[in-house]
Structure 1
Amino acid sequence: MTTETNFTHINEQGKANMVDVTEKNVTQRQAIAEGYIRMSELAFSKLKVNQHAKGDVLSIARIAGIQGAKRCSDLIPLCHPLMLSKVQIDFETLDTSRQVRIIALCKLAGQTGVEMEALTAVSVAALTLFDMCKAVDPLMEIDGIRVLKKQGGKSGDWQVADKKVGDNKVEQLC
């Protein structure tokens, strides 16, 4: 029995299906995502002066975020493997809230977007920060993971409608 659906990731038999992008135009595409990890005062102060027992936690989290973006299609079942041309991970320490803001930029020239890669980069960087700092603070919180800005492709450019997109960290990435 076949049924016609409007779902993009389900075929006529109702089975999971990776979208065929063969006929889509190759365009320049990029996405910027962010996320936050909040930690105790002790964990945050150790992070800022690079004194966690596991070493330079921000450097390791940056590498992990880059690796996460590159492995996105291995983690998210119907994502296409992409030839990323740039992955950049930046961190901003927010003293008043004891948070680390993680910002990821992913770029390519291709037939499908890079939002999932940017989100995965942020997520893996945040999880790595958690892993590296959990001996000092096992109660850290990860939140606020979202796409801030997307450029290129059929659906065009868009960004969230709040002040964070215009901040210096994001503008430096563009």
Structure 2
Amino acid sequence: MLLLAGPMSICHSCGDDLRAALPLAIPIYDQKSFQETVKFLKSLESNHRERPQFGFSFHAILHQQCKLILSERTAPRFKEFIRERLNCPDMHLANGRSPFETRTIVERHHVVAMAMWIMSDLRKRLTLAWESQAVRYSALLKDLDNPPQRFVSFARQFNRNRT
């Protein structure tokens, strides 16, 4: 499937070149997930040519984890689960159903740092979150358009109603 998209360095809304923006430090809550974040960002610079592990499936699952962290309705305990394990600050996130993309850069950095902790050992950490009742099976796939089949296969183990 071919996706048509402009460069990730150009704002989809206003057309500004994001490379000209003042950089803000990414919070480091866990060294391993921070190193994965750096690899991920470098793959964006090269348009993923050097690091194929950060393809569309990775983006889709990372975005889903960010949505779950922000969700007060579908996964209200997920953010707290991650925060406790990382011992990271409890940043006050804006209330409401604001999409991830419309949040402040500080909020997005915080949420991505938390999500990358999950992504750096996805199978183990999502399993721990589910066992701790921090996330439900239904939330893992909720509103995830065209989810990667490997993720769906993995997530099915959390469905208590499977036959």
Q: TM-score, normalised by structure 1?
A: 0.28
Larger Rg: 1
Report the structure, 1 or 2, having the larger strand content.
Answer: 1
Structure 2 length-normalised TM: 0.30
